[in-house]
Structure 1
Amino acid sequence: MLRTIIAGVKARTARLLLSSIAIMLGVAFVTGTLVLSDGITAGMEDEFAKTSRGVDVSLSLTGEGPEGEAGIPRATLDKVRATSGVQGADLRSLLSAPLLMSSGKAKPATVGPLASTPELREYDLKDGRFPTSATETAVDVRALATAKVAIGQQITVLDKQDGKHAFTIVGTFAQGANSLSLGGSEHLVVLPEAMPPLTDQVRAYEMVVKAAPGVSQDQLATDLKKVVGEQAYRVQTGAQVTEETLKQISSRSTEMTQLLLVFALIALVVAAMVIYNTFTILVAQRTRELALMRCVGASRGQVFGSVMAEAAVMGLFASVIGLFGGLGVSALMQVVIGAVSDDNTVVRLPLSPTTVLAAFAVGVLITVVSAFLPARKATRVAPVAALRAQLDSHEEVARTGKVRIAFALLLGLAGAGVVAFGMNQDQEQALLITGTGTMLLLAMVVTLGPVLVGPVNRVLGVLPGALFGVPAKLASGNAGRNPKRTAATTAALMIGVTIVSLVTVVATSAKETANAEVDNRFPADYTVRSSVGSRTLPQDLATQLAAVPEVAKIAPVAAFGVPSPTDADGGAYLMATTPEMIGDLVKPKATSGSIVGLKSGEVALNAKFAERAGLTVGGILPLGADATKRDLVVVAIVDGLDGSGLVTLDTLRAFQPDDEGFDSIMVKLKDGVTTEAGRAAVEKVTDASPIALIDSAAETKAQLNTQVDQVLAFIWALIGLAVIIALFGIANTLTLSVLERTRESALLRALGLTKGQLRLMLVIESVLMAVMGAAIGLVLGIGFGGLLVKGMSSDSFPIAFAVPYGQIAIMLLAAVIAAMIAAAMPARRAGRTSIVSGMAES
Structure 2
Amino acid sequence: MLSLSLASLRHQSRQYLAPGLAVVLGIAFIAATLVLTGTMSSSIRQAVAGQYEPYQSVVVAEATDTEIPSGVADQVAAVKGVTAVDPVRTGAGLLRTATGESYAMITTESAITSHPVLEGRAPRAPTEIALSRTVAAGSQLEVGDTVPVTAASGESAEPVRATVVGIVDVADDPRYGGGTPAVFATPEGVTGFTGAKGWEEIAVVAATDEAATTAAIRSALETKGADVTVLTATEHADNTVTEFTGGTDFLAVFFLAFAVIALFVSAIVIANTFAILLARRARETAMLRAVGATRGQVIRSALAESLVVGVVFSVMGVLVGIAMAWGLTRAGASLAGDALPDLVFTVPVRAVIVPLVVGVVVVLVAALRPVVRSSRVAPLAALRPDAAITGRSRGGRLRIALGLVLIAAGAAALVLSGSLPSVAVGVVGGLVSFTGVIMAGSVLVPWAARAVGLFAARPFGPAGRLAIDNAVRNPARAAATASALLVGVTLVTMTAVGAATTRTALTDFINAQYPVDVVVAGTSIPDATAAAIRSTEGVAATTTLTGSSVSASWGASSARPMLTAVSDGLRDVVRDPAAMPTVPDGTVVVSDEAAGSAGIHTGDEVILQGPDGRTRVRAQVEGGFDTGWLVTAATLAEVDRQPATTALFARVADGADATATLDGVTELAAGIDEGQVGGAAPVRAANMQALDIALAVVLALLAISVVIAVVGIANTLSLSVIERTRESALLRALGLTRGQLRAMLAIEAVLLSLVGVVLGTALGVAYGLAGVRSLFGEHMTVSPTLPWGQLTAVALVAIIAGLLASVLPARRAARVSPAQALAVE
TM-score normalised according to structure 2 size: 0.78
Q: Is residue 2:381 matched to residue 1:385? A: yes
Distance 1:705 1:680 in 2: 18
Q: Give the corresponding residue for 1:826.
A: 809
Distance 1:288 1:155 in 2: 88
Distance 1:257 1:673 in 2: 40
1:669 to 612, 628, 649: 649
Q: Give the corresponding residue for 1:478.
A: 470
Distance 1:337 1:777 in 2: 35
Distance 1:386 1:434 in 2: 47
Residue 18 of structure 1 deviates from its aligned partner by 3.1
For the structure 1 residues 167 and 293, does the alpha-carbon distance in structure 2 shift closer, same or farther, using more than 3 Å as the test?
same
1:771 to 754, 759, 762: 754
Select between 749-758 and 300-309 the one with higher mean Cα deviation: 749-758
Q: Is residue 2:319 matched to residue 1:324? A: yes
Distance 1:177 1:325 in 2: 29
What amino acid does structure 1 have at the position aligned with 2:257?
A: V
1:431 to 423, 426, 437: 423
2:254 to 259, 272, 275: 259
Q: Note if contact 2:5-2:304 (Cα within 8 Å) is conserved in structure 1.
A: yes
Q: Give the corresponding residue for 1:131.
A: 122
Distance 1:306 1:96 in 2: 68
For the structure 1 residues 148 and 433, does the alpha-carbon distance in structure 2 shift closer, same or farther, using more than 3 Å as the test?
same
Residue 287 of structure 1 deviates from its aligned partner by 0.9
Deviations 1:67-102 (A, max 9, x none): x977643x5545544655333323312333334555
Distance 1:175 1:555 in 2: 54
Q: Note if contact 1:27-1:322 (Cα within 8 Å) is conserved in structure 2.
A: yes
Residue 686 of structure 1 deviates from its aligned partner by 3.6
Instruction: Specify the SS of the correspondent of 1:602.
Output: helix
Residue 290 of structure 1 deviates from its aligned partner by 0.7
Instruction: Specify the SS of the correspondent of 2:786.
Output: coil
Q: Note if contact 1:580-1:597 (Cα within 8 Å) is conserved in structure 2.
A: no
Deviations 1:602-633 (A, max 9, x none): 379xxxxxxxxxxxx9xxxxxxxxxxxxxxxx
Residue 384 of structure 1 deviates from its aligned partner by 1.6
Residue 226 of structure 1 deviates from its aligned partner by 2.5
For the structure 1 residues 154 and 460, does the alpha-carbon distance in structure 2 shift closer, same or farther, using more than 3 Å as the test?
farther
Q: Is residue 2:155 matched to residue 1:172? A: no
Q: Give the corresponding residue for 1:305.
A: 300
2:449 to 453, 457, 475: 457
For the structure 1 residues 552 and 595, does the alpha-carbon distance in structure 2 shift closer, same or farther, using more than 3 Å as the test?
closer
Residue 807 of structure 1 deviates from its aligned partner by 0.9
Distance 1:669 1:793 in 2: 29
Distance 1:673 1:829 in 2: 56
Distance 1:684 1:401 in 2: 71
Instruction: Specify the SS of the correspondent of 1:403.
Output: helix
Instruction: Specify the SS of the correspondent of 1:173.
Output: coil
Deviations 1:107-135 (A, max 9, x none): 3222322122x2x43x4x38457526558
Distance 1:47 1:555 in 2: 57
What amino acid does structure 1 have at the position aligned with 2:446?
A: G
Residue 256 of structure 1 deviates from its aligned partner by 3.4
Q: Give the corresponding residue for 2:699.
A: 716
Q: Give the corresponding residue for 1:35.
A: 35
Select between 263-272 and 820-829 the one with higher mean Cα deviation: 820-829
For the structure 1 residues 223 and 523, does the alpha-carbon distance in structure 2 shift closer, same or farther, using more than 3 Å as the test?
closer
Q: Give the corresponding residue for 2:536.
A: none
Q: Give the corresponding residue for 1:411.
A: 406
Q: Give the corresponding residue for 1:143.
A: 135
For the structure 1 residues 168 and 835, does the alpha-carbon distance in structure 2 shift closer, same or farther, using more than 3 Å as the test?
farther
Select between 703-712 and 215-224 the one with higher mean Cα deviation: 215-224
For the structure 1 residues 69 and 260, does the alpha-carbon distance in structure 2 shift closer, same or farther, using more than 3 Å as the test?
closer
For the structure 1 residues 238 and 365, does the alpha-carbon distance in structure 2 shift closer, same or farther, using more than 3 Å as the test?
same
Q: Give matches, 1:267-278, under 5 Å.
A: 267-278=262-273
For the structure 1 residues 155 and 169, does the alpha-carbon distance in structure 2 shift closer, same or farther, using more than 3 Å as the test?
farther
2:202 to 208, 224, 244: 208
For the structure 1 residues 280 and 695, does the alpha-carbon distance in structure 2 shift closer, same or farther, using more than 3 Å as the test?
farther
Q: Note if contact 1:225-1:235 (Cα within 8 Å) is conserved in structure 2.
A: no
For the structure 1 residues 143 and 219, does the alpha-carbon distance in structure 2 shift closer, same or farther, using more than 3 Å as the test?
closer
What amino acid does structure 2 have at the position aligned with 1:493?
A: L
Residue 231 of structure 1 deviates from its aligned partner by 2.8
Q: Is residue 2:370 matched to residue 1:374? A: yes
Q: Note if contact 2:172-2:342 (Cα within 8 Å) is conserved in structure 1.
A: no
Distance 2:508 2:491 in 1: 26
What amino acid does structure 1 have at the position aligned with 2:20?
A: S
Structure 1 gaps of 5+ residues are: 529-540, 557-576, 605-616, 618-634, 650-664
For the structure 1 residues 822 and 299, does the alpha-carbon distance in structure 2 shift closer, same or farther, using more than 3 Å as the test?
same
For the structure 1 residues 796 and 841, does the alpha-carbon distance in structure 2 shift closer, same or farther, using more than 3 Å as the test?
same
Q: Give the corresponding residue for 1:445.
A: 437
Residue 736 of structure 1 deviates from its aligned partner by 1.0
Residue 155 of structure 1 deviates from its aligned partner by 7.6
Q: Note if contact 1:153-1:168 (Cα within 8 Å) is conserved in structure 2.
A: yes
Distance 2:674 2:433 in 1: 52
For the structure 1 residues 171 and 33, does the alpha-carbon distance in structure 2 shift closer, same or farther, using more than 3 Å as the test?
closer
What amino acid does structure 2 have at the position aligned with 1:714?
A: V
Distance 1:721 1:673 in 2: 37
For the structure 1 residues 323 and 93, does the alpha-carbon distance in structure 2 shift closer, same or farther, using more than 3 Å as the test?
same
What amino acid does structure 2 have at the position aligned with 1:264?
A: A
Pairwise CA RMSD: 4.4
What amino acid does structure 1 have at the position aligned with 2:424?
A: L
Q: Note if contact 1:92-1:205 (Cα within 8 Å) is conserved in structure 2.
A: yes
For the structure 1 residues 672 and 839, does the alpha-carbon distance in structure 2 shift closer, same or farther, using more than 3 Å as the test?
closer
Distance 1:494 1:126 in 2: 57
Residue 720 of structure 1 deviates from its aligned partner by 2.3
Q: Give the corresponding residue for 1:521.
A: 513
Distance 1:247 1:512 in 2: 38
Q: Is residue 2:351 matched to residue 1:355? A: yes
Q: Note if contact 2:55-2:233 (Cα within 8 Å) is conserved in structure 1.
A: yes
Distance 1:488 1:672 in 2: 50
Q: Note if contact 2:22-2:711 (Cα within 8 Å) is conserved in structure 1.
A: yes
Residue 156 of structure 1 deviates from its aligned partner by 4.3
For the structure 1 residues 730 and 748, does the alpha-carbon distance in structure 2 shift closer, same or farther, using more than 3 Å as the test?
same
Instruction: Specify the SS of the correspondent of 1:765.
Output: helix
Q: Give the corresponding residue for 2:61.
A: 61
2:107 to 112, 125, 137: 112
Residue 825 of structure 1 deviates from its aligned partner by 3.0
Q: Note if contact 1:138-1:172 (Cα within 8 Å) is conserved in structure 2.
A: no
Instruction: Specify the SS of the correspondent of 1:18.
Output: helix
What amino acid does structure 1 have at the position aligned with 2:14?
A: A
For the structure 1 residues 110 and 206, does the alpha-carbon distance in structure 2 shift closer, same or farther, using more than 3 Å as the test?
closer
For the structure 1 residues 239 and 380, does the alpha-carbon distance in structure 2 shift closer, same or farther, using more than 3 Å as the test?
closer
Q: Is residue 2:797 matched to residue 1:802? A: no
Q: Note if contact 2:303-2:367 (Cα within 8 Å) is conserved in structure 1.
A: yes
Instruction: Specify the SS of the correspondent of 1:165.
Output: strand
Residue 730 of structure 1 deviates from its aligned partner by 0.8
Q: Give the corresponding residue for 1:500.
A: 492
Distance 1:709 1:101 in 2: 31
What amino acid does structure 1 have at the position aligned with 2:94?
A: P
Q: Give the corresponding residue for 1:5.
A: 5
For the structure 1 residues 159 and 515, does the alpha-carbon distance in structure 2 shift closer, same or farther, using more than 3 Å as the test?
same
Q: Note if contact 1:526-1:666 (Cα within 8 Å) is conserved in structure 2.
A: no
Instruction: Specify the SS of the correspondent of 1:381.
Output: coil
Deviations 1:152-202 (A, max 9, x none): 67584544645653414444331652235xx74322334445545534x13
Distance 2:729 2:145 in 1: 80
2:220 to 211, 220, 226: 226
Structure 2 gaps of 5+ residues are: 152-157, 532-542, 549-560, 582-587, 603-619, 630-644
Distance 1:7 1:672 in 2: 70
**Equivalent residue pairs, number:** 742
Q: Is residue 2:236 matched to residue 1:236? A: no
Q: Is residue 2:534 matched to residue 1:543? A: no
Deviations 1:465-497 (A, max 9, x none): 466544444333322222221111111111221
Deviations 1:729-752 (A, max 9, x none): 111111211221223334444455
